[in-house]
Amino acid sequence: MIFDIEVNNVSLKYKDFAALNNISFKLKGGQIYGLLGRNGAGKTSLLSLLASFRQPTAGNIKIGGETPFENADIMQHASFIYDKDYKDEWNKVSVMLKFAERYRLNFDMDYARQLVDRFKLPLNKPVNKLSKGMQSAMNVTIGLASRTPVIIFDEAYLGMDAPNREIFYKELLEEQSRQPRTMILSTHLVSEMDYLFDEVLIIDKGDLVLHKNYEDLVSSGFSITGDSNSVDTFVKGMQKLNEKELGNTKSVMVYGDLSEEMRLEGQRIGLEIGQVSLQDLFIYLTSEED
């Protein structure tokens, strides 16, 4: 079962604060989406809407062609894994897995046990006694083993150490190849996770500023370095993301398509043309007014 997601003119207001402004996008089922945005950009608000944790103030959402909110046929197929406050959760990890098994129809307990071993999760420890990283590992275990057609990980790696994060990413890709699902990953660890994404969405101050295929996106950012005057002439009319100058040398990061002729022309006049990482693009696309 594969679900597409459609978000149409969605806005969300908390009293006087606009968390999301008229956002629209479509996500094809069975792919991994990276949702990037700075703190307070509206990522969790958007994901809460997709998970039916709340309703939009305006606009509508469709998952598998249906409105998900209070729709049992959709809600049971969508999981939302987020940084939950477990200070009052006295149940053991094993009990939490059993809960998930009881309510998530496709939950695979054998797979959950494998993940428990890989993350070295203590099954008999109360959840509130686990370290933050271990709580995250438990969340990720439940999320992956629930095998819901739509799965949302909202900064699910918080507190996890580097080896466990690696396990998470690896399992995520393996799961996706075993049984493609619609996965949405929100993250700040852009450089670490970018290879996971099929498509990238960037939101900033409640607006969707970008939605693009990952390959296209990283091939639309360039750094042009060379003699200041030549660089300035070359980048005229292009969308500049960032400029750095040292003596007579300038480096400009631009966003947009660069034709083969332009590229050759740049090289001819002695400019160095390099690729820009998703992390750099993210930083510059969301930091213009700082």
Which stretches of the chain bind other proteins, using CB under 8 A? 44, 48, 52-55, 69-73, 75-80, 82, 99-100, 102-105, 148, 154
Compare residues 139 and 220 and give the one whose CB is closer to other proteins: 139
77 or 181: CB nearest other proteins:
77
Beta carbon nearer to other proteins, 69 or 284: 69
Count of H helices and E strands in the chain?
A: 11, 13
Least Å distance between CB 160 and other proteins?
19
For residue 183, the SS3 value is: strand
As beta bridge partners, residue 23 has 10
Q: Is 209 exposed, middle or buried (0-12, 13-18, 19+ CB in 10 A)?
A: middle
Query: Shortest Cβ distance from residue 219 to other proteins (Å)?
Result: 35
CB of 90 to other proteins, least distance (A): 12
Residue 143: other Cβ atoms inside 10 A: 25
Nearer to other proteins, 48 or 187 (CB): 48
Minimum Å gap between C-beta 137 and other proteins is 18
Under a CB-based contact definition with an 8 Å cutoff, are residues 23 and 203 in contact? yes
Between 38 and 240, CB nearer to other proteins:
38
Minimum distance, C-beta of residue 72 to other proteins, in the bound complex (Å): 4
- Rounded CA gap, 140 and 134, in Å? 10
Judged by beta carbon, residue 144 or residue 210, the one nearer other proteins is 144
Task: Using alpha carbons, select from 7, 147, 135, 8 the residue that is nearest to residue 76.
Answer: 147
Measured over the CA atoms of residue 237, residue 241, residue 246 and residue 249, the dihedral's sign is: negative
What is the nearest approach in angstroms of other proteins to the Cβ of residue 267?
49
Q: 221 is written with which tokens?
A: 């950012």
